[in-house]
Structure 1
C-alpha cells in the first residue's frame, strides 16, 4: 500500500553568511545566492534523495532556494514549481520592505527546470511569527492533498521548514526541529496520521553548521 512521503529541506549555505560585507553592495540584499559550499551542500542533498521516488519539487522563489532545488532537480530529472507560500519569514526586523527577488521568468532563463505554468500569489509583508507558521503550515497541507499519490519535496528556509513540518505533524515540530542549513525532514502519512521519521537530518552533509542561523 502506498504511503505518501513529504520531504522538507532548507537551502544550502548563503553568500552573506560567508561574507557579511556582501549585503552592503548587493543589488538585492535580501535575496542572497548560495555560497560555494552551499552549492556543494545542495549537491549532497540531491545525492541523498536518489531512489526516494520523489516526483514533485516545490521551492521558495528566493535565489538560494531555487539554486538548491535546481541541484536536486538535475539529479532527479524533475521540474521545479515555485511557491511563494514556502518563502522566507517576512520579518520587518530582518528586512525593511518586501524583499525583491528575480521574476519567475528571469529565474527560468537561468534555471530551465522551472515550471512557469505553476503560479500562486505572494504573501503579505510584514508578517509575525504566527502568520508565517500559518502560511507555511497550510502550504504543506495543500500540496500533500493536491498530490496524494506522489512523494513531494518542499525546499524553503529555516522558518518554512519548521512551519511546513508543523502543518503536518503538529506543534511538536516547533520544539523538535533544528532547521540548520540543507537539513532534511521526512514525514510519512500512516493511514490518516503524519509521522516524522527524520528531524532536521544533516547526515548527508560533509560539513554542517554548529549554530543554526536564520539571518
Structure 2
C-alpha cells in the first residue's frame, strides 16, 4: 500500500513585511500572516484540492494555523494541532519561551480545530539545531505510521519542514529540500520505502521570496 505525506511551510509572516511589528507585539514570537501571506495560503489550498488528503496537522503557532485553515476550508477537513511541528525554539532567535494563543483561544478563531486531538510529540525551549530535527523527524514518522495508509498534510516551519522530511527520507533531504515560504514537499511511501517527489515546490505561488529564511 502507498501513502503520501505532504509537508508545507507556513506562508509569509507579518514581521517579515513589517519588522517594527515585533517592537510592540503582545506575542512577539507568534506573528500572524501578512496580507500577501494570506494570498499564498489560499494558493496552497487551491494546489492541494483533489490530492485526497485525509488529515491536516499544524504547528500551534498562529501563522501555521492560519495557513492550515485555508487548506482545511478548501478540503473541508479539521485541523489537528501538533506541537511536534513547532518552530525551532532557538534561544538565539527567542530570548524566552514563545508565548502563543491557547488551544481554546485558537479554536474560537478557527472552529475547524479538532479540540479532541492530543499532540503526540512535545517541543521544549530551548532547542539545539539537532534537537529540532530529531523532534520534527520523530513527529513526521509518528503521524505517518499512526494514520497510515491515509494521505496527510503537515503544516510547519522552515526547520521543522526540513526535519520532518529528513525523518522520512533521511540525510538526502538536508541537501535536496528547500523550505521557502509556503513551499510544498511531497514524500511518497511505497511499501517500506520513502521517496522524495517534491523538494520544496513553489509553482503554485504568484509571490515568492528571493532569499530563503529559516525562522
Structures share fold, TM-score greater than 0.5:
yes
TM-score by length of 1: 0.98
RMSD: 0.8
Number of residue pairs matched by the alignment: 214
Q: Find out whether 1:168 has 2:133 as its counterpart.
A: no
Question: 1:101 — aligned with what?
Answer: 100
Say which SS state the counterpart of residue 2 (structure 2) adopts: coil
Cα separation, 1, equivalents of 2:131 and 2:139: 13
TM-score by length of 2: 0.98
Question: 1:126 — aligned with what?
Answer: 126
Q: Offset at 1:122?
A: 3.6
Question: 2:23 — aligned with what?
Answer: 24
Question: 1:62 — aligned with what?
Answer: 61
Question: 1:15 — aligned with what?
Answer: 14
Cα separation, 2, equivalents of 1:123 and 1:194: 25
Q: Offset at 1:32?
A: 0.1
Q: Offset at 1:156?
A: 0.3
Question: 1:90 — aligned with what?
Answer: 89
Moved over 2 A (4+): none
Q: Offset at 1:162?
A: 0.1
Q: Offset at 1:214?
A: 2.0
Cα separation, 1, equivalents of 2:150 and 2:123: 26
Say which SS state the counterpart of residue 4 (structure 1) adopts: strand
Question: 1:53 — aligned with what?
Answer: 52
Q: Offset at 1:158?
A: 0.2
Question: 2:196 — aligned with what?
Answer: 196
Q: Offset at 1:186?
A: 0.3
Cα separation, 1, equivalents of 2:95 and 2:117: 29
Q: Offset at 1:119?
A: 1.5
Cα separation, 2, equivalents of 1:211 and 1:149: 36
Cα separation, 2, equivalents of 1:122 and 1:67: 21
Which consecutive unaligned segments of at least 5 residues does structure 1 have? none
Say which SS state the counterpart of residue 54 (structure 2) adopts: strand
Q: Offset at 1:124?
A: 1.4
Question: 2:39 — aligned with what?
Answer: 40
Cα separation, 1, equivalents of 2:104 and 2:195: 37
